[in-house]
Chains A and B, each alone.
Chain A
């Protein structure tokens, strides 16, 4: 009795480690000419699996919200000053 070997094509493929869409992006976006050696800033940002990129993004958002708060605060100041000015005029009259 002859044993027909299973065609090798059907051999179980290695478990897929990442979704297919990622490979599409990999092929498109890895081919950037990598000409320069990593500079100091890159060495910091790329350490520990690029977690510092996330930190930078969160800090940018944080800074933006604080800047917004300062602007609103300044607006309130102006409004208060206007009310104060008119108040002092009232007492003079």
Chain B
């Protein structure tokens, strides 16, 4: 049906990424704990969470966009592998989003909300991220509720496109209009000279790349496995 009907990744590429991810993330953990950071009140050493909490959301963003891309391709070609790719990318997006939200809860609880006992503080970004995770959770509920495989693929793909459109609004646009614990209210933190100290960039950017690489490894593993399972189901003898 389509030329892309094999989920196998060139082994050399896979091993290269694997090695790079291992080295980069090891370096990030070491430098993340030992590197020097600006001394700020309230934040103190917990500013190091930037290296671990924020890449979760970058990974979610990358995963949802990848998932939406494969949903579009599925609608164009009807290639079942595209549907599998979209599902696995969305699943990992959900996992990384959950890790992001739980790490954010712990960070806020023991940094800005000491003495209040508040685990959930209704920060706009926190609440909107929770809404986003519910939207992506519904993707799987929708998928599992449809028996026929082609119908399921098509409806899930269309829903996935709706879900990805909400992502920038829920994670960026709406939270930045409201007073928030998160940076971005005064303009894009990406171009800000004050939101991220220069010394921290050297750990933060590799961390984002490392976690994106880790996502890719997990994603290709899961796609290969799901594809295998899908093929076995088709075998009349099995």
Chain A interface (Cβ < 8 Å from any Cβ of B)? 18-22, 24-26, 28-30, 32-39, 42, 45-46, 48-54, 56-58, 60-61, 64-65, 68, 72, 75-76, 79, 82-83, 86
B115 to A, closest residue via Cβ: A34
The answer to whether A60 touches B225 (Cβ under 8 A) is no
A32: contacting residue among B99, B112, B228, B229, CB under 8 A = B112
User: Within the assembled complex, what's the spacing in Å between the Cα atoms of A63 and B52?
Assistant: 13
B44: Cβ under 8 A from any A Cβ:
yes
A86 to B, closest residue via Cβ: B238
A57: contacting residue among B103, B112, B179, B214, CB under 8 A = B103
The answer to whether B194 touches A28 (Cβ under 8 A) is no
Stretch at the interface among B11-19, B33-41, B67-75, B147-155: B33-41
Known interface pairs A28-B179, A48-B45. Does A53 touch B116 (Cβ–Cβ under 8 Å)?
Answer: no
Bin chain B's interface residue count: 35 or more
B42: Cβ under 8 A from any A Cβ:
yes
Known interface pairs A21-B194, A86-B237. Does A54 touch B32 (Cβ–Cβ under 8 Å)?
Answer: yes
The answer to whether B225 touches A75 (Cβ under 8 A) is yes
The answer to whether B107 touches A57 (Cβ under 8 A) is yes
Chain B residues lying within 8 Å of A33, measured Cβ to Cβ, are 116
User: Within the assembled complex, what's the spacing in Å between the Cα atoms of A83 and B228?
Assistant: 11
B99: contacting residue among A22, A28, A61, CB under 8 A = A61
The answer to whether A32 touches B45 (Cβ under 8 A) is no
B102: Cβ under 8 A from any A Cβ:
yes
9 CB-based A-B contacts, threshold 8 Å: A18-B38, A18-B41, A19-B38, A32-B113, A51-B48, A54-B32, A61-B99, A64-B98, A72-B221
The answer to whether B41 touches A26 (Cβ under 8 A) is yes
Chain B residues lying within 8 Å of A32, measured Cβ to Cβ, are 112-113, 115-116, 118
A54: contacting residue among B45, B98, B115, B116, CB under 8 A = B45
User: Within the assembled complex, what's the spacing in Å between the Cα atoms of A6 and B102?
Assistant: 55
What does the 1/0 interface line of B42-53 toward A look like (CB < 8 Å)?
Answer: 111110110011
User: Within the assembled complex, what's the spacing in Å between the Cα atoms of A26 and B118?
Assistant: 18
List 8 A-B pairs, minimum CB-CB distance, nearest first.
A19-B194, A49-B45, A34-B115, A50-B46, A49-B44, A45-B110, A51-B45, A53-B46
Known interface pairs A42-B110, A46-B110, A75-B225. Does A58 touch B29 (Cβ–Cβ under 8 Å)?
Answer: yes
B158: Cβ under 8 A from any A Cβ:
no
User: Within the assembled complex, what's the spacing in Å between the Cα atoms of A79 and B195?
Assistant: 48
User: Within the assembled complex, what's the spacing in Å between the Cα atoms of A26 and B43?
Assistant: 10
Q: Give min CB distance, B204 to chain A, whole Å.
A: 14
